A and B are shown apart, each in its own frame.
Chain A
Amino acid sequence: MIARKYLLATVAFAGLLISGYLFITHVSALPLLCGDDGGCHIVQASRFASHFGIPTAAYGILFYAALGIATALEKKTWLKLITASGFIVSLYLTYLEAFVVEAWCQWCVASAVLATLAFFIVWLHPKQHDN
């Protein structure tokens, strides 16, 4: 399934760009581009912008890098574990935005969509063989 491999690699790359951007704006004084409602500033100023002292975006970078490498190596079990954890974490973060912080960060939502996409790409192909 060559097409699936490239699709996942593209998702991983796009995710890296988004979480990389959020990471850089988190650790530096560079401005974070944001919609008119200022939602991403609210989210990035909230206590959930870091978990255990590490910027949430750094976990995103780790996740997308692992996704990209597992995709390149076609490691099916890794892919299942990585995308499942990414999906669960995205659900949790989206829940925080909706019900706790009560503000939407468009970049974070985009990342959650990508993680969800990766999860379905990997899990909805039951007859794939491991290389």
Chain B
Amino acid sequence: MTTDTKVIIGVIVATVGIIIGAGLYTNRNAAQTGEVGPSVDQPERLSQEDDPVLGAQDAKVTVVEFGDFQCPACGSLHPLLKQLKEEYADQSVKFVFRHFPLTQLHEHAQLSAEAAVEAQKQGKFWEYHDKMFESQPALTRADLEKYAQELGLNMEAFRTALDEHTHRDVVAADVADGRALGIRGTPTLFINDQHYTGSYSATALKSSIDSALQQ
């Protein structure tokens, strides 16, 4: 073996060793902190009175999702969150949805969010929310109207709200809160006032919610 062969192999093997070592070390630290990051600086921005909520207002644990209806990763997370909403229905857990449309990436995200606010005003937020996530990526204006029709919303009010962007400010307020909390992408979850950094699996999420319930 020539010297450069040995050097290259040495560097490659050492780098892989360092990566695996760092992975194991940081992974153990993540496990110790229960898969949630440090508490956020401005917990009052996590939810506001006008947010759609599922569960008792005074629940011990609050799960907040900052989401975008056109974001595929939010769509992938949706079935899992829906399952958790059912499983924790009789426990002291409430789920809050905040709008965080990534308008640069997703052309329908903004209007979808506004449509969801109108559905909320008409008392059908979660039904509309489920329908949009389950129908991704069909979120054009015509699609939004079709889902509203299927849920029996008042179509005249719905169309007006979309035409006049009545709920633009509600969405913008959520986005401003999200930015203040340091959100860069969607979906971002918070369990009480801690940023959830674990994986999007039922086991990982439930263990974090359960430990928050026991605190």
CB A82 to nearest CB in B, in angstroms, measures 13
Number of interface residues of B (CB under 8 A): 38
Inter-chain contacts of A101 with B (CB < 8 A): 72-73
Q: Which of A61-69, A85-93, A118-126 contacts B (4 or more CB under 8 A)?
A: A61-69
Chain A proximity mask over B68-89: 1 for CB below 8 Å, otherwise 0: 0001110011000000000000
Say whether B19 contacts A41, CB under 8 Å: no
Determine if A27 and B184 form an interchain contact, defined as CB atoms under 8 angstroms apart.
Answer: no
Q: Which positions in B face A, CB cutoff 8 Å?
A: 4-6, 8-9, 11-13, 15-16, 18-19, 22-23, 26-27, 29-30, 33, 35, 37, 71-73, 76-77, 102, 104-106, 137, 184-187, 197-198, 200
Is A23 in contact with chain B by the CB < 8 A criterion?
yes
Cβ of A110 < 8 Å from any Cβ of B?
A: no
What's the dominant secondary structure at chain B's contact region? helix
Shortest beta-carbon contacts, A-B, top 9: A38-B185, A41-B185, A28-B26, A68-B12, A20-B19, A72-B8, A29-B30, A45-B73, A38-B184
Which residues from B are CB-within-8-Å of A5?
Answer: 4, 8
Our pick among B9, B71, B73 for the contact of A72 (Cβ within 8 Å) is B9
Q: Are the C-beta atoms of A9 and B185 separated by less than 8 Å?
A: no
- Taking a contact as CB atoms under 8 Å apart, the answer to whether B200 and A29 are in contact is no
Residue from the list B37, B76, B105 in contact with A39, Cβ < 8 A: B105
Sample (27) of A-B pairs whose CB atoms are under 8 Å apart: A2-B4, A9-B8, A12-B8, A13-B11, A16-B16, A20-B19, A24-B22, A29-B197, A34-B185, A38-B184, A39-B185, A40-B185, A41-B184, A42-B71, A42-B185, A45-B187, A46-B76, A47-B76, A61-B16, A65-B12, A68-B11, A68-B12, A69-B8, A74-B5, A100-B72, A101-B72, A103-B72
Q: What is the interface residue range for chain A against chain B?
A: 35 or more
Instruction: Point out the residues of chain B lying under 8 angstroms from A41, CB to CB.
Output: 184-186
The CA of A31 and the CA of B23, in the complex, are separated in Å by 13
Q: Are A65 and B104 CB-contacts (below 8 A) given A27-B23, A45-B200, A72-B8?
A: no
* Bound: A2/B29 CA distance, A: 43
Whether A68 touches B23, Cβ cut-off 8 Å, given contacts A20-B15, A29-B29, A102-B105, is no
| Interface membership of A1, Cβ < 8 A | no
A69 touches B73 (CB 8 A): no
Q: How far is the CB of B81 from chain A (nearest CB, A)?
A: 13
| Chain A positions near chain B (C-beta within 8 angstroms) | 2, 5-6, 9, 12-13, 16-17, 20, 23-24, 27-30, 34, 36-42, 45-47, 61, 64-65, 68-69, 71-74, 100-103
Q: Which B residues touch A36, using CB under 8 A?
A: 184
Kindly list chain A residues whose C-beta atoms are within 8 Å of the C-beta of B102.
37-38
For B105, the chain A residues whose CB sits under 8 A away are 37, 39, 42, 102-103
